[in-house]
Amino acid sequence: MTEKLFYNDVYKSEFNARVLSCNKNGDRYDVILDKTLFYPEGGGQPADNGTINGIKVFDVHEDGDDIVHYISEPVEEGTEINGVVDMERRVRLMQQHSGEHIVSGIIHHKFGYDNVGFHMGSEFITIDFNGVVPKESIDEIEKEANEAVYKNFAVNIFYPTPDELEKLEYRSKKALEGAVRIVQFGEYDICACCGLHVVKTGEIGIIKILSHQNYKGGTRIFMLAGKQAYEDYVAKNKIIYNISNMLSAKPNETDIAVERLINERNFIKEQLVAVKKQLFALKAEAVKENTDCVVMFEDNLESFELRQFCELLMERVDFAAVLCGNEEEGYKYAIGGKNKEMMPFIKEANKALNGRGGGKGDMVQGSFKAAKEDIEKYIRDNA
């Protein structure tokens, strides 16, 4: 049986303990100590990391009354070891977990929804609620959650008697047996939980809801708290200032500047399409009328432009092919024959020129993967 020291003082990182057992298990060694500060994975909170006698502890699990530490080298049974918990990781996990309770509690109070899925990932936390949280309420929820942080009140953790528990209204994911550990964040949340939490809410620092989406008939919330939220702010602030410099816009007006840029780009695109259309007409006019076959290789044309140009050429010639691309990536094509059913032609052409594509009636579109000369020769010979 392992004594759980981590509940006594969540900020204590170093301890000495006796090795009860150390068993080789594949590549790793499973170590059970008489007591430990290492929190084992549970209640949605990942396990602590750290070292035992300088050997890395990469995972910790609960097995009945024992806590099993996974390490990469053996330690001797019966000896005393020195354990050190990675507090950087521990604090981050506590900030995230406590932040999650506050948000879940506020949503539960406001809408009566339960947290039915909780995941603490390396990039963000997700919380799933069994009801749709209105998107207009998200900002308000976030604001309230941060108010709880500013109030900097002590988190109350207690084990009520069965009678007290009976009368207590608390959130719980499952029916619990034995002594139930209750974690209370003032008026914001009361929840059964075995995880580790900050001592006072101010230690959470920031609670930030990143986004939300409909999920399985309810809402999934993506959020960050503490150091991770701060780091996210630093990264996003940098991005905003980069965009602001590039667009010569005030940082908090970059969205307006981007919208303007998109409108300008769309306008230029429309103009380019119109200019290209004129160019196609001029090029088509330069082709001698009643020529049997014309094959044109063009640069930077979209599929609809290939078709447009090909249609213009077909007004003057019996057989027209417009292509665009290169030998490595292939040549996109639009090929048309006046009063001609083009599918038989293109089936054979695709076979010969490593191509694909087709169409209906007198026009086909697709791509060839062959040399320019081979494509031109094939089309001229078979038109």
- Give the residues lining the site for Zn ion (CB under 5 A): 43, 193, 195
Q: By 3-state DSSP, what share of the chain in percent is helix, strand and coil, each rounded to 5?
A: 40, 30, 30
CB of 109 to Zn ion, least distance (A): 16
Distances (CA, A) of 100 to 148, 152, 219, 271, 351: 12, 16, 14, 51, 60
CB of 97 to Zn ion, least distance (A): 6
Nearer to Zn ion, 45 or 308 (CB): 45
End-to-end, the C-alpha distance of the chain in Å comes to: 86
> How many whole angstroms separate alpha carbon 149 and alpha carbon 253?
29
Nearer to Zn ion, 52 or 192 (CB): 192
Q: What is the dihedral of CA 125, 126, 131, 135, to 10 degrees?
A: 70
- DSSP 8-state assignment for residue 263: H
Nearer to Zn ion, 32 or 47 (CB): 47
Residue number with the smallest Cβ distance to Zn ion? 193
CB of 177 to Zn ion, least distance (A): 17
CB of 111 to Zn ion, least distance (A): 19
**Which of 116, 111, 117 shows the shortest CA–CA distance to 135?**
111
CB of 125 to Zn ion, least distance (A): 11
DSSP-derived 3-state class of residue 375: helix
- DSSP 8-state assignment for residue 363: E
- Which residues, 6+ apart, have CB-to-CB distance to 235 below 8 Å? none
